[in-house]
Amino acid sequence: MGVGVLKDFKPAFGPRVDNTEERQKLGREISPIYFVHSNMPPMLILHGDADKLVPIFQAQRFVQRCEDVHSIAKLIVREGKVHGWPGMEKDLEIFGDWFDEHLRGLGARPAAGK
C-alpha cells in the first residue's frame, strides 16, 4: 500500500491493500459513509481543518449524507488543527453536552454567561 500517508497503516489493513481493486472494496466495507441511515443516533464530529490523514471534506461529506437521510449530525471544525491535535481533551465538555442533549434527552445547556 504505497499510497501517501496511508502506507504506514498497511499492518492494520492486511494484504488486501496491495491491490487497487481490493483496496477499493475494503474501503467500501469499512467506510462509515456507507452505513449512514435515517435511524442512526445523533453524530458529533470535531475535526481539524489541517488534518492530512483524514481530510476535512470527508467529515463534511459524512455530515451531508446524514442530513440527506434526515439523521442528526453536527461538525465542529477546529481551525489549524491536525489529526489528534494537542489539547483536544479540552473539547470533552462539548462531547458531554452533546451526549446530555441528544442521548440523555436533557436538552441544550445554556451558553456560559446566559
**DSSP helix/strand/coil, 96:** helix
pTM for the predicted model, two decimal places: 0.80
CATH annotation of 40-114: 3.40.50.1820
Q: Pick the more confident residue, 101 or 109.
A: 101
What mean pLDDT is predicted for residues 53-82? 96
Question: pLDDT (tens digit, 9 = 90+) per residue, 36-65?
Answer: 999 999 999 999 999 998 999 999 999 999
SS (H, E, C) 3-57: CHHHHHHHHHHCHHHHCHHHHHHHHHHHCHHHHCCCCCCCEEEEEECCCCCCCHH
Domain boundaries of the chain, sorted by first residue: 1-30, 40-114
